[in-house]
């Protein structure tokens, strides 16, 4: 079974209108060299509309997503953004449970699972982020932590529901640190995740796209993406540099 590769750029809290335009234009111009992989960008909320308009103007194959969403459908939730709003702005995807949301904004496994459901019900594809901290890895608890994160979604969405999303394994110790998981370290976790899912449904587990994120760059992407269970990347810092991002897209095939 061949899973389509995905390269997703999480722009985090970066960008101006001018920078977004320049970045998107350069990526789009260079994408002619890339054939098979799906390329997605995740700007901050306030620039989603701008990026959606640029994508349309450029007649670009680049897909668009939000970095977060509310677990609620609508109502008195000052400062929050709903799944339906993201959909209305032409997003197809949304990140849920990024480790920065989990650690800095105290999002629990249960809250992340609710956001996953809210996204899915609105017709967005959740890019569901999981991963362990350095202390958790060093104490041998990586898979325990990752399975707990995944099981929180499985408990309320079931295997069919989970498989409407994409998983992104992002070890917290590798995010923004320049320390990448080795291809084998990443592959081992991806393989464990797939085996965990295969206990419930082998075919769906084989179809599940599992991305790696954490200090992916133009140099290490090829080796990471060559691993059997790594189906592309969720890119932070390198997604803000058009040339590096394009090299990563090319590495994904
Ligand atoms: P870096 O690529 O900057 O390590 O960030 C990864 C990430 O958090 C993507 O969501």
Q: Let me know if residue 247 belongs to a domain.
A: yes
The domain that holds 200 is classified in CATH as 3.20.20.70
Domain that holds residue 179: 6-252
DSSP string, the chain: -PPPPEEEEE-TT---HHHHHHHHHHHHHHGGG--S-EEEEE--GGGHHHHHHHHHHTT---EEEES---SSSSSS-TT---HHHHHHTT--EEEES-HHHHHHS---HHHHHHHHHHHHHTT-EEEEEE---HHHHHTT-HHHHHHHHHHHHHHHHHHHHHTTSEEEE--GGGTTSS-PPPHHHHHHHHHHHHHHHHTT-HHHHHH--EEEESS--TTTHHHHHTSTT--EEEESGGGGSHHHHHHHHHHH-
State pLDDT tens for residues 87-110: 999 999 999 999 999 999 999 999
Q: Let me know if residue 174 belongs to a domain.
A: yes
Ligand 1, from 216, 241, 244, 248: best to mutate by most atoms within 8 Å of Cβ?
216
What pLDDT sits at residue 178?
A: 87
**Protein residues with CB under 6 Å of any ligand 1 atom:** 10, 98, 170, 175-176, 213-216, 234-238
State pLDDT tens for residues 48-66: 999 999 999 999 999 999 9
Q: Let me know if residue 1 belongs to a domain.
A: no
Q: How many domains is the chain built from?
A: 1
State pLDDT tens for residues 4-49: 999 999 999 999 999 999 999 999 999 876 667 999 999 999 999 9
Q: Let me know if residue 76 belongs to a domain.
A: yes
């Amino acid at each position: 079974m061949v899973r389509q590769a995905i390269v997703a750029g999480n722009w985090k809290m970066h960008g101006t209108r001018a920078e977004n335009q320049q970045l998107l234009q350069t990526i789009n111009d260079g994408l002619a060299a890339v054939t098979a992989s799906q390329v997605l960008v995740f700007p901050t909320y306030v620039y989603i509309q701008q990026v959606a308009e640029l994508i349309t103007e450029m007649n670009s194959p680049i897909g668009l997503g939000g970095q977060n969403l509310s677990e609620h459908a609508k109502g008195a939730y000052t400062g929050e953004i709903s799944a339906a709003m993201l959909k209305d702005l032409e997003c197809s995807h949304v990140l849920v449970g990024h480790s920065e949301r989990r650690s800095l904004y105290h999002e629990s496994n249960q809250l992340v699972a609710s956001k996953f459901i809210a996204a899915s019900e609105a017709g967005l594809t959740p890019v569901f982020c999981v991963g362990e901290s350095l202390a958790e890895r060093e104490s041998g608890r990586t898979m325990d932590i990752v399975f707990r994160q995944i099981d929180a979604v499985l408990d309320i969405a079931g295997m069919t529901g989970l498989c409407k999303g994409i998983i992104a394994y992002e070890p917290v110790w590798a995010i923004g640190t320049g320390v990448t998981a080795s291809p084998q370290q990443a592959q081992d976790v991806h393989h464990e995740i797939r085996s965990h899912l295969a206990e419930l449904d082998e075919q769906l587990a084989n179809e599940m796209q599992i991305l790696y994120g954490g200090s992916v760059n133009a140099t290490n992407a090829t080796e990471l993406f060559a691993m059997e269970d790594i189906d592309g990347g969720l890119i932070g810092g390198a997604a803000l540099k058009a040339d590096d991002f394009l090299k990563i897209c090319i590495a994904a095939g």
